[in-house]
């Protein structure tokens, strides 16, 4: 930050220069801003977790999130023999929220055809630079919005303010297990 009226003098950022993020993921997430890892859900998969943290923003901001539902990597089954569901919701203090404007692509298809008796899965490789500012996600689809009723968040969801934000995932909330979603300026 530059000191007002000065070309070469810098000011140390203050705590009121930061912006609060709140994230709730079913079940886990990691978030990158402008290509840098800024937050990882500290609880692996269970229970669902609401995470709030502050960042010092650098505009324009490219936000990239990888979200994972709990699923057996070999069968795609959730908690033993069930079909799971995903979902992520984000609200940033300056008004950025998750909605259908985000791009989303799934990379793990759990339970192809929903067959729980003969479970099969398919993985697509996640591009190494998916979180980079200059990554081209133009061929990805738009995120699909889901209601709170469809996601059925656990109590941890109520600990943060998500007003105005929408739960998002890809086209299939139940069978697509690893999602990458991005919001670019």
Could you give the dihedral angle defined by the CA atoms of residues 121, 37, 42 and 97, in that order, rounded to the nearest 10 degrees?
Answer: -80
* Rounded Cα gap, residues 15 and 12, in angstroms: 10
Q: pTM for the whole thing?
A: 0.88
Question: What would the two tokens of residue 163 be?
Answer: 């007003």
Q: What is the mean pLDDT of residues 13-35?
A: 90
Q: Render pLDDT for 119-130 as a digit per residue (tens, 0 to 9).
A: 888 999 999 999
* Rounded Cα gap, residues 15 and 20, in angstroms: 11
Domain boundaries, the chain: 16-183
Q: Which CATH class is domain 16-183?
A: mainly beta
Confidence of residue 181 (pLDDT cuts 50, 70, 90): very high
Q: What is the mean pLDDT of residues 109-138?
A: 90
List all residues 6 or more positions away from 107 whose beta carbon is below 8 Å from its beta carbon. 123, 124, 125, 126, 178, 179, 180
């Amino acid at each position: 930050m530059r000191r007002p009226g000065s070309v070469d003098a810098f000011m140390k950022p203050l705590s009121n220069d930061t912006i609060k993020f709140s994230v709730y993921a079913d079940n886990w997430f990691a978030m990158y801003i402008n290509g840098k890892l800024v937050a990882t859900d500290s609880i692996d998969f269970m229970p669902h977790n609401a995470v709030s943290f502050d960042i010092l923003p650098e505009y324009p901001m490219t936000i990239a999130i990888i979200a994972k539902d709990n699923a057996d990597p070999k069968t795609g089954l959730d908690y033993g023999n069930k079909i799971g569901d995903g979902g992520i919701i984000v609200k940033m203090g300056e008004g950025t929220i998750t909605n259908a404007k985000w791009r989303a692509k799934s990379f793990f298809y759990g339970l192809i055809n929903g067959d729980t008796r003969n479970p099969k899965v398919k993985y697509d490789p996640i591009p190494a630079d998916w979180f980079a500012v200059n990554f081209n996600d133009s061929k990805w689809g738009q995120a699909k919005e889901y209601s709170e009723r469809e996601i059925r968040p656990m109590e941890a969801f109520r600990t943060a303010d998500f007003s105005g934000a929408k739960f998002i995932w890809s086209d299939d909330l139940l069978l697509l297990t690893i999602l990458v979603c991005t919001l670019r300026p």
